[in-house]
Structure 1
Amino acid sequence: MTGAAATPRTPPGDPATAADDARDELPDDPRVGDFDLGEVPSARSIRRFTAQAARSRAGASIGSLLTDVYTTVTSVVISVLIVLGVVQQLGDSLPPAPPVHAPGGLSLPMLVALVLLAAAGALLSTAGRLGPVGAEGAQAAWWLPLPVDRRALLRPAALRVPVVAALAGAAVVVVLEAGLLTGGGAGLVRAGLLGALGAAVVVLGAAVAQTRGVPRRRIALAGDLALVAAPVLAALVVLAGRTPASLPSPSWPVVVGAAVLASLLAVVVDRRLGVLPGRTLREGGSVATQAVGAVVSLDSRELGRALSGGVAASARRRSSRLRTARGPATALVTADLVVLRRSVRHLVQVVVAAGLPVLATVVPQLASPVGVLVAVLLGGWMASSASAEGARWAEVAPVLDRLLPLGDRTVRRLRMVVPGVVALAWSLVVFAAVGRWAGATLDWLLLAVVAAPVWAAAAVRAAYRPAPRWDKPLVATPAGALPTGVLQVIARGPDLVAFCLLPLWVAIGLGTVTTWMVTAQVWLSVIAVMVASSTAEKGWMERLLEEQDQRKGGAA
């Protein structure tokens, strides 16, 4: 009785009793019940486990991996050798160097130094837009919340970008040193090492700024300012009237100092990896993933959107009244103008594009028809491509194009207005210098005005080009497997420059402008605008073949 009285009675249907009975009926499963926490794995073991899991699901053997590495290294080496051979032939074909401190003009060594300054600015701007330290989507979702040392997790990501930049910097400096400055031997080795260390220092400096909480927008702006400083310094040297005929060769103490600086920056970055916020790492990783995907997909438009959108301001202190928007047509043009005005990278690109042909006309060793023509084509495409940012955004998100009561052809013609105005301003600056180089400046300015619509039409045609069809049969190339017809897609836009600017090509080659050249350029400009206004994604020959196939099928 005592035991029975001591045992408490619970009413039937009590939730606690039901829960206890259900727990007693559970099988002896080691995953259920109490468990002891083991030792937290190290960050290195987590990285190894992730890599092993990825390799186990990739379905690729060690043989295929070695084959890919061998193909990549061979392709890069062959590309560098080809570029080096072309640059050496260009250097051998150049006229002899001008006298020391020759009045007027710009010497070739000084031009190379300015090009390296511009390359450093472009590298800093790109590093700022990409992070340069970031975590991809899957890594950010799984690695960052783990209770492990974040430094060891992020160390490979922090090392990847400086190494790639060092390899690219060494290749660029070696090509310029051996091709244009005819360097060799120990001087070439020192120049290559200094180029690699300098590129690594630029990227590591951006990483240090990132760990200090500097916004990526400011880092990219600093790189853009350095890029603009190159043509400004070139103009100051030309106005000064004296330019050095040679530059001092890098010595071993300079190389050692650059190595020490790179090592110190690497140590600082490594020690501060743990203080990087998760939001910063996620943003950098998403931009880098988008950029890599654009490069693999051969989509330069997506690459530009990744680099521009990554540093776009989330909020603005003031808003524009958009007073020029008086109707559907002016609203579309105003939108393109606002997009260009808010993109500092593209404004810098326009300034640099205007400086390239001008520098080609003042460098005695490059002031030849071939050098001026190459500089004009390169600068013109850079300027027109930078001014068509609105059309590129409209291609991926045609919201404004669909809301306004405008036809498709009218929309594309209106998209050419802002690139046309930029091309006209660029042409007046560039061909004033070309006219000073070749004589008869007014004739060259007239040819520049009638050729400006071609640049705008080519930029809009390239902005609205279709994506490559990856469902088509693939073709093996040194750069990897590519779908058939990918070259036709990439050529949309540059094809107008190649065909509709033939009078301009001939004028620069002959060094003179005639009446028939201007007349032919007018008609070709009209043709370029008509072609760029078309909404057909397929080429004329492809559409003709499809129509013939349809007629044969109907007759059958």
Structure 2
Amino acid sequence: MSAHVEPGGLDPAHGLEPVLVGPSDRGPAPSGRSIRRYTAAAANQRGGASLGQLLNDVYYAVISLAISIGMALGITGSLREALPEPPTGGVDAGISLPALVAVVVVALTGVLLSLAGRLGPVGAGGAEAAWWLSLPVDRRGLLRPASRRLPLLGAAAGAVIVALLDAGLLGGEDMAQVLRAGLGAALGAAVVVLAAGIGQTLQVSRRTTALVGDLVLAAAPVLALVGAVAGWSLDALPTAPAWLLALLAVAAGLLAWLLDRRLDRIPSRSLRESGSVASQAVGAMVSLDSRELGRALTDGAARTRRRGSRRFRGVSGAPAALLTADVTVLLRSTRHVVQIVVAALVPALVAFVPQLAGPVGFLLAILVGGYAAMTATGEGARRAEMAPVLDRLLPLPAGQVRRWRMIVPGVVMLLWSVAAFGSIGAWAGDVASWLALGIASAPVWAGAAIRSAYRPAPNWAGPLVSTPMGALPSGVTSVLARGPDVVILGMIPVAIAILLGSVLPILLGVQMVLSVIVVAVSGGTRTLMERMQDTLGQDPAQPGGAVRR
């Protein structure tokens, strides 16, 4: 209903009514459900997609998911076969593989709670926040699908991951037990996300929820170490009994009902912020932009206001400003600090698990844990790549700026290497040699962090390739490989030493040479192709690479 008030047609002091121009019939305000359905119908009408195209996309997604699950089962099964048999006589200290998987489930619970706090879990972004939240309708009907989306997604992810761990890594042959473990994980994940949603209705800040999840994640490796010292051993992953599954189902239903009843109590500001972060994260995942995804998750739980400020009296000069900025950004991100600590404890946990304490387990621990820690150290460089104007204001060349930004990742990864390679050395009985190898390989991680942070964006103007996530540029894989490529090259001596079980002097020397090469390559501002064209005397800025005269 459209209405227009003529000038002078409303005088509250004299009780005058406004003069309406347009339809004169009045009725009750529409429900939120009808508004939501009208919006969906209008979007579908203008989308141009037919039912056949929708079924084709669903079929494509299901087939891709099935193939991914099959590949994951194959990888975990191959890893299980590569691991040595568990000791038969028992151990006084150490933790069994099923017990370690149980600790991993605890860590995944912390990750899920942290993501729920950073993404909402209930939000309205984009046009929904601009139009829906301003309407005089009940918000329960508007927000009901949004309140169900993240719990269902978390339940599906939890069921798949736990089922893969049980059937693949632990070799569970009883399908009933695997299905029960997956069902228990799904119900537990739904309860965790719904509890975070209840906290959002009680105006608990998203930062607090994310911080609790980070603390749970940080407590998981500590729990594993305590269990290893105490000799905590399990023969199989604990299976939830029927009464526990029924209790989880009842709890999930009650929490879902309570969240639905309290949807109208979520502040509009919280809904807009959660929707904005979720939209940014989804866009980053669709475009395969890990840097944008990290920024969304980091800024999603950041404080909007600082309780105090620091004067940074010791900062004098551009290099000191760069180092101080990188350290401050790292320390203010709780997620990244927890990520580094957890990654540093991974090799120690592998050393305490008899089935994992070997070349394969340590190699995976070094590569996976090191890459996780490396990505956490480059937040300052990633922000500088997003806003390059700050670096350009400094009286330093671009190459020097990147080299100065390697210092913070280098120092952090040096400490990580001491902890990680010290665990391998303690297990192998040669701490000094393994520490020397870890110290020599630390620059590789620093160079990879800067190379990954300053990688160019994909060229969306070129030819596109059809994928399950939509059309992507043909060169997106080469862009994503910037960073991991130098890790693969620079960690070859480390991999050989782990597989051999000893650090040879020649491997230590080769590692030093490769570290210098990685630092030199990652600190440059030009790609390898551009350098080759410069060597050949061509100008890459000109079409066809015209020869310079």
TM-score by length of 2: 0.92
The Cα shift of 1:122 comes to: 0.4
- Find out whether 1:441 has 2:443 as its counterpart: no
1:326-368 superposed Cα distances (whole Å, 9 cap, x missing partner): 2211111110000001000000000111111221222111112
The Cα shift of 1:103 comes to: 1.1
Match of 2:277 in 1: 287
Gap change, CA 1:86 and 1:456, over 3 Å in 2:
same
**Which of 110, 124, 147 is equivalent to 1:121?**
110
- Find out whether 1:48 has 2:32 as its counterpart: no
TM-score by length of 1: 0.91
Once superposed, what is the RMSD of the aligned Cα atoms?
A: 2.2
The Cα shift of 1:67 comes to: 0.8
> Alignment partner of 1:143: what SS?
helix
Q: Is the contact made by 1:97 and 1:245 (CA closer than 8 Å) also made in structure 2?
A: no
- Find out whether 1:428 has 2:418 as its counterpart: yes
> Alignment partner of 2:466: what SS?
strand
The Cα shift of 1:48 comes to: 1.2
Output the CA distance in 1 between the equivalents of 2:185 and 2:127.
34
Match of 2:13 in 1: none
Gap change, CA 1:435 and 1:484, over 3 Å in 2:
same
Q: Is the contact made by 1:75 and 1:479 (CA closer than 8 Å) also made in structure 2?
A: no
Q: Is the contact made by 1:409 and 1:533 (CA closer than 8 Å) also made in structure 2?
A: yes
The Cα shift of 1:425 comes to: 0.2
**1:221 partner amino acid:** L
> Alignment partner of 1:482: what SS?
strand
- Find out whether 1:461 has 2:451 as its counterpart: yes
**2:462 partner amino acid:** K
Output the CA distance in 1 between the equivalents of 2:407 and 2:48.
51
Match of 1:7 in 2: none
Output the CA distance in 2 between the equivalents of 1:106 and 1:458.
33
The Cα shift of 1:241 comes to: 3.9
Output the CA distance in 1 between the equivalents of 2:365 and 2:205.
35
Match of 2:397 in 1: 407
Output the CA distance in 2 between the equivalents of 1:550 and 1:209.
58
Q: Is the contact made by 2:96 and 2:232 (CA closer than 8 Å) also made in structure 1?
A: no
Match of 1:60 in 2: 49
Output the CA distance in 2 between the equivalents of 1:19 and 1:211.
43
Match of 2:99 in 1: 110
Q: Is the contact made by 1:501 and 1:521 (CA closer than 8 Å) also made in structure 2?
A: yes
Match of 1:164 in 2: 153
Gap change, CA 1:552 and 1:19, over 3 Å in 2:
closer
Q: Is the contact made by 1:130 and 1:288 (CA closer than 8 Å) also made in structure 2?
A: yes
Match of 1:319 in 2: 309
Match of 1:80 in 2: 69
Q: How many residues align?
A: 529
Q: Is the contact made by 1:117 and 1:227 (CA closer than 8 Å) also made in structure 2?
A: yes
Q: Is the contact made by 2:286 and 2:470 (CA closer than 8 Å) also made in structure 1?
A: no
The Cα shift of 1:136 comes to: 1.2
Output the CA distance in 1 between the equivalents of 2:321 and 2:382.
17
**2:343 partner amino acid:** A
**Which of 185, 194, 219 is equivalent to 2:184?**
194
> Alignment partner of 2:134: what SS?
coil
The Cα shift of 1:65 comes to: 1.3
Output the CA distance in 2 between the equivalents of 1:130 and 1:441.
43
> Alignment partner of 2:472: what SS?
strand
The Cα shift of 1:38 comes to: 2.9
The Cα shift of 1:270 comes to: 0.4
**1:503 partner amino acid:** P
> Alignment partner of 2:459: what SS?
coil
Gap change, CA 1:119 and 1:543, over 3 Å in 2:
farther
Spell out the pairing of 1:250-399 with structure 2 (5 A cutoff): 250-399=240-389
Q: Structure 2 unaligned runs (5+)?
A: 1-6, 10-19
> Alignment partner of 2:311: what SS?
coil
Q: Is the contact made by 1:99 and 1:245 (CA closer than 8 Å) also made in structure 2?
A: no
- Find out whether 1:419 has 2:406 as its counterpart: no
Match of 2:502 in 1: 512
**1:331 partner amino acid:** A
Match of 1:491 in 2: 481
Q: Is the contact made by 1:174 and 1:191 (CA closer than 8 Å) also made in structure 2?
A: yes
The Cα shift of 1:376 comes to: 0.3
> Alignment partner of 1:144: what SS?
helix
Q: Which piece of structure 1 moves more, 397-406 or 428-437?
A: 397-406
Q: Which piece of structure 1 moves more, 413-422 or 429-438?
A: 429-438
The Cα shift of 1:438 comes to: 2.2
The Cα shift of 1:98 comes to: 2.9
Output the CA distance in 2 between the equivalents of 1:320 and 1:426.
28
